[in-house]
Amino acid sequence: MGKIAFLFAGQGAQYPGMGKSLYETSPAARAVLDAAEAIRPGTLAQCFDGDQETLSQTLNTQPCLMAVDYACAMALVEAGIKPDGMAGFSLGEIAALPMAGLLPFVQAFRLVMHRAEQMQACAAQSATGMTAVLKLQDAAVEALCAHHGAYPVNYNCPGQVVCALRKADIPAFTDAVKTAGGRALPLAVNGGFHSPWMHDAAVAVKDYATPLAFQHPTVPLYADATCRPYTVADAAALLGAQVENPVRFTQLIHTMQADGFTDFVEVGAGKTLSGLLQKIGGAARIGNVEDAASLNTTLTTLREESPC
């Protein structure tokens, strides 16, 4: 068997009820979510019983989803599956920090709370949004962005790039995408994340992270901004950089595959990353863990097809 990677889900995957099943069945997941609740009272209520509108507010989304991501990962470890490496999509990278040994969960959770505050503040100051562009090559999307004052910010998979732009420019940009033979889908987000509009948040996150006592990673964590593993020396800079730079998910996965990773397990709400992996190709096995049922399914797949 090749190496196993955990992929931590990003913002947009959240849904009411996330984490509840594992909270009720996995002691490891319960411990993580109880720790989050102790730091941020109301987290469990938002995850288990909150409505979609409440969960979709960046200030709530990021800490709730980060806690659920890590809880899902710990449930998988508790069941005997440990990662050889990992990555996270945007917010998911913060959830991966404690799994990689870079920061304790409590410090990482406080970091994500600060990150959420800063990114929401930036979003409130700029009337920006995000649009997914489908069916076009990356270079074509980049050319359209340059012409419309937009930025390609998530390279999700071949034929799918998410762009950040001013809300007022979305109609013209959508028409231009259609004319070029593509399809544009506005996303239900409240800001132009991973773009220069997030610069102040990026600086604030880096400043917050700089004095933290990062440890040498015990498991490689591949960074969104560089597609290479974190080191102690660059941890704070990478955490700031990822806020205002694109998530190059396709390149990241190709890099991990070149480094010997064949099996990928998405941990956290939903199966968005699993779907992107299917489109990128090259993975021997793809699984996800978001609840007790998916945990059991993934365990069965990994154990049946693995000699271990």
The answer on pLDDT for 305 being more than 80 is: no
* Domains of the chain by start residue, with CATH: 3-124+196-305 (3.40.366.10), 127-186 (3.30.70.250)
With bands split at pLDDT 50, 70 and 90, how would you rate the model's confidence at 1?
A: low
With bands split at pLDDT 50, 70 and 90, how would you rate the model's confidence at 188?
A: confident
Pairwise pLDDT comparison (122 vs 303), residue with the higher score: 122
Q: What percent of the chain has pLDDT over 90?
A: 91
- Across all residues in the chain, what is the average pLDDT? 95
The pLDDT of residue 301: 87
Tell me the DSSP string of the chain: --EEEEEE--TT---TTTTHHHHHH-HHHHHHHHHHHHHSTTHHHHHHH--HHHHTSHHHHHHHHHHHHHHHHHHHHHTT---SEEEESTHHHHHHHHHHTSS-HHHHHHHHHHHHHHHHHHHHHS-EEEEEEESS-HHHHHHHHHHHT-EEEEEEETTEEEEEEEGGGHHHHHHHHHHTT-EEEE-S-SS-TTSGGGHHHHHHHHHHHTTS-----SS-EE-TTTSSB--TTTHHHHHHHHHHS-B-HHHHHHHHHHTTEEEEEEESSSSHHHHHHHHH---SEEEEESSHHHHHHHHHHHHHH---
Exposure letters 166-200 (e unless 16+ CB within 10 A, then b): beebbeebbebbeebebebeeeebbbbbbbebbeb
Q: What percent of the chain has pLDDT over 70?
A: 98
The pLDDT of residue 101: 97
- Residues 69-95 have a mean pLDDT of 97
Q: Which of the residues are catalytic?
A: 90, 194
Written as one letter, the residue type at 273 is L
The pLDDT of residue 302: 87
- Residues 57-81 have a mean pLDDT of 96
Summarize pLDDT for 230-248 with one digit per residue, the tens.
Answer: 999 999 999 999 999 999 9
Summarize pLDDT for 119-162 with one digit per residue, the tens.
Answer: 999 999 989 999 999 999 999 999 999 999 999 999 999 999 99
